[in-house]
């Protein structure tokens, strides 16, 4: 069980698994730069996110921008969309007389990627909802804007362990305020903070703020 007064953004788990340095620069050093990929992703979410929207169609309740959190993982975030389908084995929601099974839909730009980044984020959301609703969610969906299709993701024990391990490491990094060294890889070309990652300081593990300070002081000489 992690300290609940130090919840980290759940969305960071995809950054952490993609590149630990990217996650640390965003969450610890507060560095962020939009590129066309992040802007497109934000626009897609804006179409989905409506915190006051709930509708019922054919008995299925759809809720958008559902706040979630987990004390066990130490994460806090928002589900784009949660569908509650009537099911005798489900859970009871306030003011409803039938039981429902929840299923999350997370919206992503592009198409399915190599690596389990999106899957882990979705699984982390499910683990938060499970804790909040005292239920088990066996699968949910990722919707990709480019292929305009839902992909069903099963929450295997392997995926759940990946989420638990990543959450634990994120808290350890955050507690130490640890910024990993640069390790260039294929994903760097699409990285939104490529221009501030400063690969030139690879190997000496300096903080970006220290590097900028030293550059500014050189200008004074
Ligand atoms: S440029 Fe590469 S090493 Fe640097 S933060 Fe981005 S993905 Fe990580």
| Domains of the chain, each with CATH number or no CATH | 4-220 (3.90.320)
Ligand 1 geometric centre to CA of 37 (Å): 15
Q: Which of these, 120, 127, 94, 91, lies nearest to 23 by C-alpha position?
A: 120
Distance CA 105, CA 151 (A): 9
Task: Out of 60-64, 154-158, 182-186, pick the least confident.
Answer: 182-186
pLDDT for residue 203 is more than 50: no
This prediction has a pTM of 0.82
pLDDT at 213: 66
pLDDT, tens only, 125-155:
999 999 999 999 999 999 999 999 999 999 9
Cβ atoms < 10 Å from Cβ of 57: 8
Ligand 1 geometric centre to CA of 28 (Å): 15
The residue whose CB lies within 8 Å of the most ligand 1 atoms, and thus the one to mutate among 197, 200, 205, 207, is: 197
- From the CA of 197, give the closest atom in ligand 1: 4
pLDDT for residue 201 is more than 90: no
Name the phi and psi angles at 55, rounded to 5.
Answer: -135, 160
Which residue ranges have their beta carbon within 6 Å of ligand 1? 19, 21-22, 25, 182-184, 187-188, 191, 193-194, 197
Distance CA 64, CA 53 (A): 6
- From the CA of 184, give the closest atom in ligand 1: 3
Average confidence (pLDDT) over 185-201 = 79
User: Alpha-carbon dihedral of residues 27, 153, 129, 146, nearest 10 degrees?
Assistant: 60
CA 174 to chain centre: 16
């Amino acid at each position: 069980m992690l300290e609940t007064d130090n919840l980290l953004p759940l969305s960071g788990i995809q950054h952490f698994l993609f590149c630990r340095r990217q996650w640390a620069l965003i969450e610890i050093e507060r560095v962020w730069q939009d590129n066309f990929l992040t802007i497109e992703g934000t626009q897609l979410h804006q179409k989905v996110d409506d915190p006051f929207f709930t509708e019922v169609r054919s008995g299925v309740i759809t809720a958008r921008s559902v706040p979630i959190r987990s004390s066990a993982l130490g994460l806090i975030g928002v589900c784009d969309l949660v569908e509650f389908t009537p099911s005798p084995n489900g859970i009871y929601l306030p003011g409803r007389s039938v039981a429902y099974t929840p299923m999350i839909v997370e919206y992503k730009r592009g198409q399915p990627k190599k690596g389990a980044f999106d899957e882990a984020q979705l699984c982390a959301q499910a683990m938060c909802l499970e804790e909040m609703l005292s239920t088990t969610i066996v699968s949910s969906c990722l919707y990709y804007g480019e292929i305009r299709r839902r992909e069903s993701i099963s929450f295997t024990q392997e995926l759940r362990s990946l989420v638990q391990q990543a959450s634990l490491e994120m808290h350890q990094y955050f507690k130490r305020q640890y910024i990993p060294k640069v390790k260039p890889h294929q994903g760097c070309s699409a990285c939104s903070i490529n221009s501030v990652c400063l690969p030139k300081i690879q190997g000496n593990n300096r903080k970006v703020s220290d590097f900028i300070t030293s550059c500014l002081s050189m200008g004074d000489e």
